[in-house]
Amino acid sequence: MHEESTATDTTNPLAPEAPGQEKSAAAGGPASEAPIATLSLEERLETTERALEETRDAWLRAQAELENTRRRAREDVAKAAKFAVERFAGDLLPVKDSLEAALTVEAPTVESLKSGAELTLKQLAAAFEKSALKEIDPLGDTFNPHFHQAISAIESESEPNTVVSVLQKGYLLAERVVRPALVVVAKAKA
For the chain, what percentages of helix, strand and coil (3-state, to nearest 5) are there?
45, 20, 35
Number of structural domains (the chain) is 2
The domain that contains 186 carries what CATH number? Answer: 2.30.22.10
pLDDT, residue 37, reads 67
Amino acid at 157: E
- Residue 30 inside a domain? The answer is no
In this predicted model, what pLDDT tens digit does every residue of 112-153 receive, in sequence order? 999 999 999 999 999 999 989 999 999 999 999 999 999 999
Residue 62 lies in a domain: yes
Q: Which tens digits make up the pLDDT trace of 31-46? A: 455 566 677 899 999 9
* Separate counts of helices (H) and strands (E) for the chain: 3, 6
Q: What's the pTM?
A: 0.57
What sign does the CA torsion over 96, 135, 129, 173 have? positive
Stretch 82-88: mean pLDDT: 85
In a domain, 66, yes or no: yes
Report yes or no on 92 lying in a domain: no
Continuous H helices in the chain: 41-82, 86-103, 110-130
Residue 161: what pLDDT? Answer: 93
How far the first Cα of the chain sits from its last, in Å, is: 109
Which tens digits make up the pLDDT trace of 45-82?
999 999 999 999 999 999 999 999 999 999 999 998 88
Tell me the residue range of the domain where 59 lies.
Answer: 36-78
pLDDT for position 190: 72
Residue 120's nearest CA partner among 144, 140, 102 is 102
Q: Evaluate whether residue 46 is within a structural domain.
A: yes
Domain membership flag for residue 70: yes
pLDDT (0 to 100) of residue 38: 76
Q: Look at residues 78, 109, 144 and tell me which one is the last residue of a structural domain.
A: 78
Residues 89-93, mean pLDDT to the nearest whole number: 91
Q: Is the pLDDT of residue 88 over 70?
A: yes
pLDDT above 70 covers a percentage of the chain that reads 81
φ and ψ at 75, to 5 degrees?
-65, -40
In a domain, 6, yes or no: no
Assigned domain for 10 exists: no
Q: What mean pLDDT, rounded, does the chain reach?
A: 84
Q: Is 136 exposed, middle or buried (0-12, 13-18, 19+ CB in 10 A)?
A: buried
Tell which wins on pLDDT, 13 or 147: 147
C-beta neighbour count of 55 within 10 angstroms: 10
b/e 157-180 (16+ beta carbons within 10 angstroms → b): eeeeebbbebeeebbbeeeeeeeb
**What is the pLDDT, as a whole number, of residue 25?**
43
How far, CA to CA in Å, does 93 sit from each of 71, 123, 124? 34, 10, 10
